Each structure stands twice: as structure tokens, then as C-alpha cells.
A and B are shown apart, each in its own frame.
Chain A
Amino acid sequence: MKNGSITTILAGCMGMALSAALFAAPALAADKTVKIGNVEPLSGPSASVGVQGKQAREMAIEEINAAGGIKSLGGAKLELVYADSKSDPTVGVTETERLINTEKVNLMTGCWNSAVTYPATQVAERYGIPFVVPVAVRDTITERGFKNVFRIAAKDSWWVRDQFRFLKDMQEETGVKLQKIAFVFENGDWGTGFAEKWRELAKKDGYEVVLDEPYPSTATDLTPVVTKLKAAKPDIVMLVSNAADAILLTNTMAEMQVKPKVVLASGGGHADPKFLENTDTNALGIFDEVEWNTDVNKPAAKPANEKFKKKYGYDLTGESVDAYVAMYVIADALERAASTEPAKIRDALAATNLTTGPGMVVSYDGVKFDETGQNKNAGIVIVQVANVDGKPDRVTVWPKAARRAGYVPAFPANK
């Protein structure tokens, strides 16, 4: 009898709690939060970039929520729901399914690795959930006729496209005419892929290719390549190198007194933190293509980077900048959608034209998606290694709108 009554009371309490949880909570949540599913590599080989992206997103979300959330949704707050992809496509797919079906997220973002993003966006497309891809550069991610996939960063083929745009712009700006071009690249997937597109664009822009030279990344000595380069007398040298060979090439070129008018690298080894340390003044004048640089001349960039550095102890990177911008793009779309319906969010995203606000820390002019969902404006930054306070450092020179204030690029670097 006594036991029975306690059970009844307990059951009653639990019932009330349950019904409260079932009915009251979702009703509240729908008004107050927008759930964003986020698949990222938080462990495994790419964990460090995954964490960079996570931290940048959290900073953006904090700012957006502190500024009053989504006003058109009655001040709704943004909430990120994380899932770890471990850089594994299979895990990425199952986690995307889980976030959509179990967590009931309103939209998705992620996944950094192209290999994970490719199938994960396919899942989201099937459920009609909008997917904002900050950075995963494989071209085909936005080239499958999907309605719900939007990419902020530039795609693979645009890296090469921007290298040639840069060459053209700089020649126009300085009135210098460059004709002979040399390609030197590591003979892996990455280097040969770039070289293929270089040839195409060099032909289109009317350059004369005087050297087209792959080399093994493991070479002990790159003097033979540099000797060839010297004999070819190019105006422009385009490079794709890993860290060790970037160092060796730069130092050997200095030693053999090979001074092409323009040396243009493609990130990778030339963007490695160890590169400047090991080449020092030999690297002066080299142009390099990167996703972002700390000094891009955008009003929002400096405060954002300072805040981030203070919070996490290191500078924003290309990856984290794209993740940061993605949060502002999402907030902007939600504001205009005034709804948490995936279909309405999708339409708002498609109509995005974001050019101002604290999210605009990127080098380019804004975010506007084309019919495939690719950000039309997305671009890359070209930096030049220059003497800054007596030390070689990377200075943003292109696009011109993002150029470090007061810096005059040395173009050609060697007369």
C-alpha cells in the first residue's frame, strides 16, 4: 500500500516531467534557437584544422548571439551541434544523417575535407536541408546540380585562375610586359594537376612557355633544375613545392644567381611557417598564393584577428576565416528568411548578397552565390615576401582592394 502510493506519485511526477519535455520544450526551442549541424574533423589527421574551424565558428556565434540573435525570429539564438568526422567519409555521412534525423538541425555546415563534404552534402540534398560549405575545395562539390549546397571559399581550379589574373593585373598596374614563363612543380598529384591548368591558361593569355619541369619532391639536389631555369631565362617562374624542396629551390636560386622577374608560388611549402625561417633574405620578392593573410586591408579583419588571437593564442588562418564568414552568411540568411523552415532558409541563402558587417574579413568583395551555389566573389590572396621591420614577412598585395595599406609591391621583383 505504502509502496504503491509512492510509485503512483513517482509515476505521476515522471509523467508530468515527460509531457513537459515533450510538448513544452520543442515549442520553446522553435522560438528561441536555430540548430546548425556541424560535421568537422575534430580528431584524426586533420584535427588541427577542424579545431581551428570550430573555434572560429564559436567566436562568430558568440558575437551574433550577443548582438541579439536573429531579430526576425524574435531574437532566436544560434546553436551549433558538432559531430566528429575523423576525416572519414563514411563517418561523415552517418553523422550527417544523425544530425538531420535525430538532432533535427535546421541547416548544416562543414566538413573541411573534400572527401567528406562530397558525400555529406549529398545526404543533405536528399533531405532538402541547406548545407553551407565554408571550405572544401574540390570543384565537383558545387557542380552536381544540387539546390541546397553553398560554398564560401574558392574552388580548386580558381587557384590557378587567380594566379593568372594576378599576373595580368600587375602587368597592367605597373606597365611592365612579361612574356616568357616557366613551370617548375613537384611531380605528385597536386603539382601535375596545377601544371595542367597552367598550360591551358598560359596559352590563353599568350605567354611563351620556356620550361615545363616536374621534379621529384625527394630530390637531394635541385641544382640541375635551377641550372635549367637559368638557361631558359624566363620572366615568370610558377612553382608548386612542398616544404623541403621550396627551401632548397629558393636557396639554390640565390646561390646560382637566378633572378627571374617574378616568382609565383602556390602555397604549400612556400606558405609553411618553416619556409621563411630557412630561406631568410633569399625569399625576398617571392609572390605566394594563400587563402588569407593577417594583414588583408579590410576593416573587420584586424579586430577579428586580434580578438581571435587573444582568445585562442594564434592568428586566424584561411580555414578559420572561411568558417567565421560562414556563420555570418547563415545569420544573414536566417534574418531574411524569418523562418526555420529548411526550404525558406535555402531560398534566402540563394539570394545572399553580403558585402558588409563584422563577417567581412575576407580579401574579396563579398558573398554572392551563383546558380551552382558557389560564391562568385570568392578569391585567393597573393602575398609578397618583403622586408618588414628588418625581417622578411608576408605582405598582402593582391587583390588590390585587400593590399596592405601603403605597400608598393616590387613588381618585377628583380629588374
Chain B
Amino acid sequence: MTAVIQATLNGAMMGAMYGLTALGLTLIFGVMKVVNFAHGSLLMVGMFSAYWLIRLTGIHPYLALVIVPPVLFVFGYYLQDVVIKPVFKAEGQVREPLTVIIVTTGVWYVLDNLALMLFGAEYRTVRTAISNKSFALGEFIISIPKFSGFVVAVATAVGLALFMRKTKTGKALRATSLDREAANLMGINQYRIYNIAFGLGTAIAGIAGCVLIPFYYVYPSVGVVFDIRAFIIVVLGGLGSIPGALLGGLVIGLIESVFSQFMASTWTEAIIYAIFLIILFVKPSGFFGHKQDW
């Protein structure tokens, strides 16, 4: 029983972080209707940024949380503006712009290979003040970096939801996501909103990078591992849904951790995919998605 409760705690913490990595993906999809294949690479950029910042300046990993995300916001903002926007414009008023998906795939390859060229293929971890530290909760052990990651993930999701509801930019993002033409007619600059959405998605990847780096290692193709999870989570939670991403992440994390206690951990992967397929059959829109909302 102890092991199961311990596994539940671990699964929830790890799951919230999976949710965090999926949050940026679901946001960009919600607003732009684009599956961003470069998302894993953006996460990798976030991890490397956090890695180098902590490694070179020796600052506390959570100080990186106020430096890395804004920098990545600017990076994402201009990445969309310079690389993706022209393709978007060329596609005109197509409902699901396919070429853009291919462009994001290109961005993925360029970023991964650039990182490979600059930093090499080796695994890097950075030892921080909180690395491998844990505290005991009764007989259970809570890893400090993972617990902090959990808190940051929930705070980010709540913060993003509030931003979408309360601010003018957030409302414009939601309006564009509902109907880009109507939003355009209401005086919202569609492409500026895309820049912001992409920037926000990248910034969230930066946040994820900051909370992952104290206990995980980074290498140029690290994004691929998280990417597959993120896609499943986004579909599970409902495309474009913020609470859906968090819940989807928790579900995956819990399955992975708790089911492992009863069977070989190689099986949990298969179970995750099986559940994914079942959801697709039973409720294709996911937990929080709406039928035909785009």
C-alpha cells in the first residue's frame, strides 16, 4: 500500500509536469489551429537556456524561472513572425493550414541540429541547490525539484487561464481561436495574436525547461521524448483546453507511475496508448474539448 501511495504522489508530480509541457502545445493549437511539431524542440531550447544560465551564473534554478520564460517569449514571438507568418499568409484563409505544419517540422529539425552542432550529443545535467533533495511526508518521500515542478505547473495553468479570461489580450486570443475572420473584422490583428500565442507557448516551454533541468538531463533530441507524451495529453484533455492539458498530464503520469507497481513498467507505455485509442473512439474531443469547436 505504501508503494502505491508513494507511486500516486510521484505520478501526480510528474504528470503535472507532463501537463505543463503540453500546455504550450494546446495553446498554440487552440489559437492558430496548427499542430506545432517544433514544440519538443522549443522545450529543448528552454532546457538548454536554463542549463546554461544556471551553469554559467550559478543562480538558484528558480531564479531562472523569471529570466528564461521572457527570453523564450521573445524568441517564439519572432520565430512565428519571421518564419511561420509568411507561410500562413500564403495559405490564405484555409481552415487547417497544412504547409504551416510542415514548416514547424522544419523548425524542429533546424533547432535540434543546431543544438547538436553547438553542444554535441552528450547528456548534460546541472547540479543545483535542490538537485536530488527530498523531504519526508510521514513515510513518504517527496522530491523537492519534482514538488516545485508540480507547484509551478499548476500555477502556470491557473495563471494562463486567468490571463485568457481577464485580460484584453487574452480575450483577443480567445476570440481569434473561436473565429479568426470575425475577430479580424472586430479589429484584432490576427497575425499579432498569432505571434503572442506562439510566444506564450514558447515561454511555457521555457518554464517547463526551468523545472525539468534540476532533475532531468538535456540533450539535443530530448524534445522527442516529451513531444509524444504532449500530443497524447493534448488529445486526451481536449484540443486547445488548458485544464484539459493539466488533467491529461495527470492521467498519463498516474498511469505510468501507479500501473508500474503492478506490472513491468514496459507495459505502462502500451496501456497509455490503449487508453488514448479508447478515448479517441468514445469521446474524440477529449475530456474538455467541444464537438466541432473549430
Contact A278 B125 (CB under 8 A): yes
Q: Which of B3-11, B54-62, B169-177, B199-207 binds A?
A: B3-11
CB within 8 A of A251: which of B7, B10, B125?
A: B125
Among residues of B, the one whose C-beta sits closest to the C-beta of A184 is: B265
- A244: chain B residues at CB < 8 Å are 123, 217, 219
Give 1 or 0 for each of A187-231: 1 = CB within 8 Å of chain B CB. Answer: 100000000000000000000000001111011110111011011
- B93: chain A residues at CB < 8 Å are none
Give 1 or 0 for each of A240-253: 1 = CB within 8 Å of chain B CB. Answer: 00011001100110
Known A216-B265, A228-B261: A280·B3 in contact at CB below 8 Å: no
Contact A216 B261 (CB under 8 A): no
Contact B217 A278 (CB under 8 A): yes
Q: Does B110 contact A (CB under 8 A)?
A: no
Q: Does A176 contact B (CB under 8 A)?
A: no
CB within 8 A of A220: which of B6, B123, B229?
A: B229
Contact A224 B265 (CB under 8 A): yes
- B131: chain A residues at CB < 8 Å are 251
Among residues of A, the one whose C-beta sits closest to the C-beta of B2 is: A231
| Min C-beta distance of A290 to chain B, whole Å | 19
Q: Which of A77-85, A108-116, A254-262, A390-398 binds B?
A: A254-262
Q: Does A98 contact B (CB under 8 A)?
A: no
- A216: chain B residues at CB < 8 Å are 265-266, 269
Known A220-B225, A244-B123, A274-B122: A256·B134 in contact at CB below 8 Å: yes
Q: Does A282 contact B (CB under 8 A)?
A: yes
Contact A215 B134 (CB under 8 A): no
Q: Which residues 121-175 of B have a CB within 8 angstroms of A?
A: 122-125, 127, 131-134, 141, 143, 145-146
Name the residue in A214, A215, A251, A255 with the highest tally of chain B Cβ atoms < 10 Å from its Cβ: A255
Name the residue in B3, B146, B229, B268 with the highest tally of chain A Cβ atoms < 10 Å from its Cβ: B3
| Min C-beta distance of B87 to chain A, whole Å | 31
- A219: chain B residues at CB < 8 Å are 265
Contact A255 B143 (CB under 8 A): yes
| Min C-beta distance of B15 to chain A, whole Å | 10
- B266: chain A residues at CB < 8 Å are 187, 214-216
- A280: chain B residues at CB < 8 Å are 127
- B112: chain A residues at CB < 8 Å are none
Contact A228 B3 (CB under 8 A): yes
Q: Does B191 contact A (CB under 8 A)?
A: no
Contact A247 B229 (CB under 8 A): no
Among residues of B, the one whose C-beta sits closest to the C-beta of A218 is: B225
Q: Does B226 contact A (CB under 8 A)?
A: yes
Q: Does B282 contact A (CB under 8 A)?
A: no
CA distance A197 to B219 in the complex (A): 33
Contact B7 A227 (CB under 8 A): yes
Among residues of A, the one whose C-beta sits closest to the C-beta of B212 is: A220
CB within 8 A of A225: which of B123, B141, B146, B265?
A: B265
Contact A282 B132 (CB under 8 A): yes
Contact A247 B125 (CB under 8 A): yes
If over half of A's interface residues share one DSSP class (helix, strand or loop), that class is named, otherwise mixed; here it is helix
Q: Does B185 contact A (CB under 8 A)?
A: no
- A221: chain B residues at CB < 8 Å are 10, 14, 253, 256-257
| Min C-beta distance of A66 to chain B, whole Å | 40
Contact B132 A224 (CB under 8 A): no
Known A218-B225, A220-B225: A230·B265 in contact at CB below 8 Å: no
| Min C-beta distance of B32 to chain A, whole Å | 26
| Min C-beta distance of B158 to chain A, whole Å | 24
Name the residue in B18, B132, B215, B264 with the highest tally of chain A Cβ atoms < 10 Å from its Cβ: B132
CA distance A220 to B265 in the complex (A): 12
- B219: chain A residues at CB < 8 Å are 244
Contact A227 B125 (CB under 8 A): no
CA distance A312 to B165 in the complex (A): 65
- A252: chain B residues at CB < 8 Å are 215
Among residues of A, the one whose C-beta sits closest to the C-beta of B265 is: A215
Q: Does B260 contact A (CB under 8 A)?
A: yes
Contact B215 A227 (CB under 8 A): no
- A218: chain B residues at CB < 8 Å are 225
Contact A257 B134 (CB under 8 A): yes
Contact A223 B229 (CB under 8 A): no
Known A218-B225, A251-B132, A255-B134: A227·B265 in contact at CB below 8 Å: no
CA distance A213 to B262 in the complex (A): 11
- B11: chain A residues at CB < 8 Å are 224
CA distance A86 to B134 in the complex (A): 49
Known A216-B265, A247-B123: A230·B3 in contact at CB below 8 Å: yes
- A228: chain B residues at CB < 8 Å are 3, 260-261, 265
- A251: chain B residues at CB < 8 Å are 125, 131-132, 215
- A255: chain B residues at CB < 8 Å are 132-134, 141, 143, 145, 215
CA distance A216 to B225 in the complex (A): 12
Contact B268 A224 (CB under 8 A): yes
Contact A256 B217 (CB under 8 A): no
Contact B141 A278 (CB under 8 A): no
| Min C-beta distance of B79 to chain A, whole Å | 25
CB within 8 A of A227: which of B226, B253, B257?
A: B257
Among residues of B, the one whose C-beta sits closest to the C-beta of A250 is: B132
| Min C-beta distance of A156 to chain B, whole Å | 23
CA distance A216 to B141 in the complex (A): 24
Among residues of A, the one whose C-beta sits closest to the C-beta of B225 is: A220
CA distance A219 to B145 in the complex (A): 18
CA distance A218 to B268 in the complex (A): 13
- A225: chain B residues at CB < 8 Å are 260, 265
CA distance A228 to B124 in the complex (A): 26
CB within 8 A of A274: which of B3, B123, B146, B225?
A: B123
Q: Which residues 1-48 of B have a CB within 8 angstroms of A?
A: 2-3, 6-7, 10-11, 14, 18
CA distance A215 to B260 in the complex (A): 10
- A224: chain B residues at CB < 8 Å are 7, 10-11, 256-257, 260-261, 265, 268
Q: 15 A-B contacts, Cβ less than 8 Å apart? A: A221-B253, A223-B14, A223-B257, A224-B11, A224-B256, A227-B6, A228-B265, A230-B3, A244-B219, A251-B131, A255-B134, A274-B123, A278-B124, A278-B217, A280-B127
Residues of A within 8 A of B (CB): 187, 213-216, 218-221, 223-225, 227-228, 230-231, 243-244, 247-248, 251-252, 254-257, 274, 278, 280, 282
CB-based closest 9 A-B pairs: A224-B260, A231-B3, A278-B125, A223-B10, A255-B132, A224-B257, A254-B132, A255-B143, A215-B265
